[in-house]
Amino acid sequence: MITFQDIRQNSAVSTYIRAADNVMNALKYTEHGFAHAAIASTMASHILTALGYDDRTCELARIAGHLHDIGNAINRNDHAQSGGAMAFQILTQMGMDPRETALIVTAIGHHDEGSGGPVHPISAALIIADKSDVRRSRVREKADIAIDIHDRVNFAVTDSQLRVLPEEKRIGLSLTIDTRICAVMEYFEIFLSRMMLCRKAAEFLGCRFTLEINGTKLL
């Protein structure tokens, strides 16, 4: 059985994550490296754990979260699909059960809001975990916040908390945004489609998705 630790310690996987983040850096995108992978993997697993899924399903979600952005090493465009193909090759070579490989590559291939959607619990958890990672530390160059809306919005987020409340059947994202840096409307300019995808993913898991910014409930 291939474990999360096997994946995390695999040198090829680490090389691809590093290469993918180097591409994103060259393109002036926010951080998409080991920190983002760690947050996505931890939160994807946490979501399913909190909702009562079995340990192995939660571990597969963690693996999917760790691998989900490696496709950026090829190209930002269609990175979900290329990442799924790369993960298929890696996991097959490592000897993972094809049924588990299929779950992971499907989740990776469907995590992008441009072409994906929740198709099974691991996929739904990965979507929410990935899209909720908004934080100041993802910004590489503070000087860019004046000209790049993605940098500005991420830098403006001073606190971000994703809560899974199974008793309420709710998954809630709470953000604190410094409106001296960006207006709340700027957040929605770039994140509305992502938040709508999170809502679909939460519904797939039998929950409501809620968004709260600066104490005001918006979704």
Task: Give 1's DSSP letter.
Answer: -
* 190: its two tokens: 């770039």
Average pLDDT, the chain: 97
- Residue 109 pLDDT exceeds 90: yes
Query: What is d(CA 171, CA 181) in angstroms, rounded to the nearest whole number?
Result: 27
Report pLDDT digits (tens) over 175-195.
999 999 999 999 999 999 999
* 198: its two tokens: 């999170």
Query: What is d(CA 174, CA 169) in angstroms, rounded to the nearest whole number?
Result: 16
Q: In what order do the strands lie in the sheet with 157-165?
A: 157-165, 170-177, 208-213, 216-217
Q: Tell me what percent of the residues of the chain surpass a pLDDT of 70.
A: 100
**pLDDT on residue 146:** 85
How confident is residue 82, by pLDDT bands cut at 50, 70 and 90?
A: very high
Q: Where are the domains of the chain?
A: 4-217
Please state the pTM of the whole predicted model: 0.97
Report pLDDT digits (tens) over 159-176.
999 999 999 999 999 999
Report pLDDT digits (tens) over 114-156.
999 999 999 999 999 999 999 999 999 888 898 889 999 999 9
Under CATH, which number does the domain 4-217 receive?
Answer: 1.10.3210.10
**pLDDT on residue 97:** 98
The answer to whether residues 66 and 7 touch, using CB atoms and an 8 Å cutoff, is: yes
Going 42 to 44 to 49 to 50, the CA torsion angle's sign is positive
